[in-house]
Amino acid sequence: MNDVDTGHTAAPFKVGILTLSDRSAAGVRPDASGPNVRDALQQQLAHAFEVTACEVIPDDRKQIEQKLVEWADRLKLNLILTTGGTGVAPRDVTPDATLAVIEKEVPGMAEAMRAYSLQKTPMAVISRAVAGIRGQTLIVNLPGSPKGARESLEAIIAALPHALEKLMDNPADCA
């Protein structure tokens, strides 16, 4: 990823990284995607983001919904990045859980991630990832593969600080 200058100089945004994986949650496979997403944030915009919550839970829709609500409403995170469960397999329920808890979609982010990923793999067309807002929290679904998660984050990282500032009711223009 290339360095991104967003002009963001305020206190870092509080970020949660939620990995959805039955195998990682059971200890069968180590979580590679969550740490990869954390590293990408730190390499790109360490001054803008502080990862304050990190967890691995199974691909269980109810658990995912509960965790998203807890992190948005109780922890008041500015940004939640999920990784995993965005495909078409029966246990891929992350987008469904996200849609159940958000108040507004941000379709441009999901579209940008898919378009960017499509330049690298034809499998990007089966991504069901969504992005949306709950209160003042932006929730973005990233793929479960470390490479796919990082590439999807690359597609939107420059816009994240501005989007989060707008969610916090910053009156600055978008131009």
What's 103's domain CATH number?
A: 3.40.980.10
Is 5 part of any domain? no
Is 100 part of any domain? yes
pLDDT-derived band at 119, boundaries 50, 70, 90: very high
Residue 55 confidence (pLDDT) above 90: yes
Number of domains within the chain: 1
Q: Classify residue 7 by burial, with Cβ atoms within 10 Å: 0-12, 13-18, 19+.
A: exposed
Give the three-class secondary structure for 157.
helix
Higher model confidence: residue 171 or residue 44?
44
* Rounded average pLDDT over 14-39: 96
C-alpha to C-alpha distance for 78 and 131, rounded to whole angstroms: 13
Is 81 part of any domain? yes
Q: Give yes or no for a contact between 90 and 53, defined as CB atoms under 8 angstroms apart.
A: no
Q: What is the pTM of this model?
A: 0.92
Is 2 part of any domain? no
The whole domain housing 146 covers 13-167
Residue partners of 87: CB distance under 8 A and separation at least 6: 126, 127, 128, 143, 144
Is 172 part of any domain? no
Q: Give yes or no for a contact between 113 and 97, defined as CB atoms under 8 angstroms apart.
A: no
Higher model confidence: residue 72 or residue 173?
72
Tokens describing residue 152: 């999807």
Give me the amino acid identity at 53.
A
* Rounded average pLDDT over 35-40: 95
Tokens describing residue 51: 């990862």
DSSP code of 27? T
pLDDT given at position 25? 96
Is 32 part of any domain? yes
